[in-house]
Amino acid sequence: MPPGRRALRSGGVWRGRSRRGRAACSRGGRRGTRSAGAASIGDAARLTGVSAQTVSRVSRGVDNVRPDTRDKVLKAMDQRGYAPNRAARALRSGSFNVIGVLTQQIQRTGEAYTTSGVLEAPARAGYSVSLAQVEHPETQEVRDAVYRLQHQAIDGLVIVQSGRAGPEHLMLPTGLPVASSDSALMGHYPSASADQVQGVRDAVDHLLGLGRRTVHHVTGPRDSQSAVVRAAAWSRRLEESGISAPAPVTGGWEARDGYEAGRRLATDPQVTAVFCANDEVALGLIRALHEAGRRVPEDVSVVGFDGLPLAEYTFPSLTTVKHDFQRAGAEMVRLVLEQAAGTVIDRGYQLVIPTELVVHASTAPPPGSERRCGRDPGGRCRDCRSPGVEGAARLVPAEGLTARPRPAPQWWRARSRASGTRGCRRR
């Protein structure tokens, strides 16, 4: 043993301390004590006059604390600069109260809305979120992101989108609670996502019901499984209706993709109905059709997919298939938390969230339609679901806006003058 050092035996580990070290220890207080500037849970408890257990419950976001007590404790924690020790809490409870979230491109509208639902749900359960975004999920980048999330101590993982990355790319550890909304991972992990197939069928049926002879399609990107699912459902529904599907136009998820596709489709007079992979693509398409002199909905009816809030306020307002992004995010969090609590959920479990066709002004029967449709009590056509003048006047305005009856489109006014009818028609 070197001169001037004393060996200490504790728990089978030999440690040495020099004279200089002992002097520093004596000046700084007992070895291993908290530094003078760090606040403890006891400091916050003494300042507020409550127990340390109450401070702990407040720091963990537990509900069974009176609001006035919670406010007082939070104020004391802020004054003292106290932050709970997550590692110590995990050792006591076996949980870090953190959920990891993996997504591909959060700037995309659908991923942003779904991630918003993921972020809101954990907070209600006293959990926080650690988010990782990967631009190229099929590469080493996704493994690095998962590795980082694991070493940030997470209780489970929500996968919003993984692009072309499959389970072999993710390499998730056995036993990690996982839930996904990515179509490509269904069957590998429990999932919660929209009923895309039924939503597409509703869109195609709506356009054909208006009297349109066929329905063209602008797809999403080739590397998106959701885009593949929607394109396949579109083609299959046309075939089931006895119609040969026209060649789809490859697009993406952005308005400029729809605009480029619209410039191509506008030159074909046979194009009278288009189903777009999402709402943003539909809006770009409508812009291109307008610039080419093709009227929407008279010449071309357009349906989007997603049900974004802005669809109601575009001109013309966009008919769309709405699905609940927020619910998908919340349901994935629920699946992860149930697994973390010990519930066994089959990897093939799929929670299918219903979609809704929301009819606005971008779809209508073609001019000169001769077959009359009856209207339901809400003022909409029973078959094609398009609003007549009376139905348009009944539309409920958004909160804070004034209701105004919308003028009838030109095709309706012309037909009303000619026939004296007040309904809508189709072939």
Lowest average pLDDT, out of 77-81, 272-276, 416-420, goes to 416-420
Whether the per-residue pLDDT at 258 is higher than 90: the answer is yes
How high is the pLDDT of residue 100?
84
What is the token pair recorded at 379? 């003022």
For tokens 């029973």, the residue is 382
> Does the pLDDT of residue 237 top 50, yes or no?
yes
Quote the pLDDT of residue 305. Answer: 96
Average pLDDT score over residue span 241-257 = 95
Q: How many angstroms separate the CA atoms of 347 and 304, rounded?
A: 32
Region 366-375 average pLDDT: 62
* C-alpha span between 24 and 342 (Å, rounded): 49
Residues of the chain within CATH 1.10.260.40 domain(s) are: 34-84
Query: In this predicted structure, what is the pLDDT of residue 66?
Result: 83
The answer on pLDDT for 383 being more than 60 is: no
Residue 292 confidence (pLDDT) above 80: yes
Residues of the chain with CATH 3.40.50.2300: 93-193+327-349, 196-322
Taking residues 296-310, what's their average pLDDT? 95
| For residues 291-316, average pLDDT | 95
With a cut of 60, say whether residue 376 has pLDDT above it.
no
Q: For the chain, what is the mean pLDDT?
A: 75
77 and 55 Cβ atoms separated by less than 8 Å: yes
Reported as a single tens digit per residue, the pLDDT across 105-117 is 777 777 888 888 8
Grade residue 120 by pLDDT with cuts at 50, 70 and 90. confident
Secondary structure (3-state) at 8: strand
Given a contact cutoff of 8 angstroms between Cβ atoms, the answer to whether 273 and 299 are in contact is no
Between 1 and 137, where is the model more confident?
Answer: 137
Architecture of domain 93-193+327-349: 3-Layer(aba) Sandwich (3.40)
- 352-364: average pLDDT: 95
**CA 128 to mean position of chain CA atoms:** 17
347-351 LR contacts (CB < 8 Å, sep 24+) = 347/187, 347/188, 347/189, 347/190, 348/186, 348/187, 349/190, 349/191, 350/186, 350/187, 350/190, 350/191, 350/192, 350/193, 351/190, 351/191, 351/192, 351/193
* CA separation for the pair 126, 128 (Å, rounded): 7
pLDDT at 388: 42
Closest-CA residue to 375 (of 364, 358, 388, 366): 388
Highest mean pLDDT of the ranges 154-168, 340-354, 383-397: 340-354
Per-residue pLDDT at 55 exceeds 50: yes
pLDDT of residue 115: 83
Per the CATH hierarchy, to which homologous superfamily does domain 196-322 belong?
Response regulator (3.40.50.2300)
Q: Which pLDDT score is estimated for 58?
A: 76
Q: How far apart are CA 356 and CA 372, in angstroms?
A: 25
34-84: CATH superfamily = lambda repressor-like DNA-binding domains (1.10.260.40)
Q: What is the pLDDT of residues 409-425, one digit of tens each?
A: 444 444 434 434 444 43
